[in-house]
Structure 1
Amino acid sequence: MATVLIVDGANVVGTRPDGWWKDRAGAARKLHEQLLVAGVPQDQVVLVLEGGAKGGVRPGKDAHVRTVHAPKDGDATILAEAKRAAERGDRVTVVTADRALDARVAGVGATTVRPSWLLDLL
């Protein structure tokens, strides 16, 4: 059984008022770079990007971080990733402050942590 951390990229980046909205792609790239070197306790990290943030990181796997581009809204992609991992028997944690998404991923067996938890590790 693997442990999987699914990161709501827009939600995590959006928690810091550091001008991210001026360069969504750059903010996504910075988050991706931080995740590559962060000491997260999970075996795998899935970074879900949507909208303009997708321009900052190509989809695919770099070391233990897999980047997924949401075709429409990030929430549906995060939920699908959580469900797929939980069905494989993995322990899934989703990083988000979105309470509606929190409830939806709980329904597939995932737990959630707030972006501040991840930001403290970065």
Structure 2
Amino acid sequence: MRSVVVVDSANVIGSRPDGWWKDRAAATRRLHEALLVADVPGDEIVMVLEGGARGGARPGKDAHVRIVHAPKEGDATILAEAQRAGQRGCTVTVVTADRALAANVSATGATVVGPTWLLDQLDKLEHG
């Protein structure tokens, strides 16, 4: 069974006070680049971008990472991506700390993990 990881990119980027707010597009590019080379469990990773972060990566697929630009705030798009993947028979994991979003995606059968789960995966790569 295929697995899909849907990333609430704003939530993940915003979980570390590393100056991301100075340049959201650059922070998005860093996360995208890290996801391209990280060993994150999942056949496909969907990064949902909103607001100024959309300037950091074009929509479309790059290897196993697919970028989706949310038309407004990202929660509705994240929920829709999780639902679509579930309807295709995939196991779905959503990365977010947003409680309302977590409740909504959990109701679709998706597993929810916090940003720390994903950042730990990326840190393993960075620190070997």
Q: Which residue of 2 aligns with 1:13?
A: 13
Q: In 2, distance between residues paired with 1:114 and 1:106?
A: 13
Query: Structure 2, unaligned stretches of length 5 or more?
Result: 123-128
The SS at the match of 1:28 is helix
Structure 1 residue 73: Cα displacement:
1.1
Deviations 1:86-117 (A, max 9, x none): 01110000000001100000111111001001
Structure 1 residue 2: Cα displacement:
0.7
Runs of 4 or more, structure 1, over 4 Å off, are: none
Structure 1 residue 9: Cα displacement:
0.3
Deviations 1:16-71 (A, max 9, x none): 00110110000000000000001011111000000000001000000000000000
The alignment of Structure 1 onto Structure 2 pairs a total of residues equal to: 122
Establish whether residue 3 from structure 1 lines up as the match of residue 3 from structure 2.
yes
Q: Which residue of 1 aligns with 2:92?
A: 92
Q: Which residue of 2 aligns with 1:52?
A: 52
Query: Structure 1, unaligned stretches of length 5 or more?
Result: none
Q: In 2, distance between residues paired with 1:24 and 1:30?
A: 10
Q: Which amino acid aligns with 1:30?
A: R
Structure 1 vs Structure 2 CA RMSD: 0.5
Percent of matched pairs sharing the same residue: 72
**Within-5 A mapping of 1:32-71:** 32-71=32-71
Q: Which residue of 2 aligns with 1:120?
A: 120
Q: In 1, distance between residues paired with 2:63 and 2:25?
A: 20
Q: Which residue of 2 aligns with 1:26?
A: 26
Q: Which amino acid aligns with 1:111?
A: T
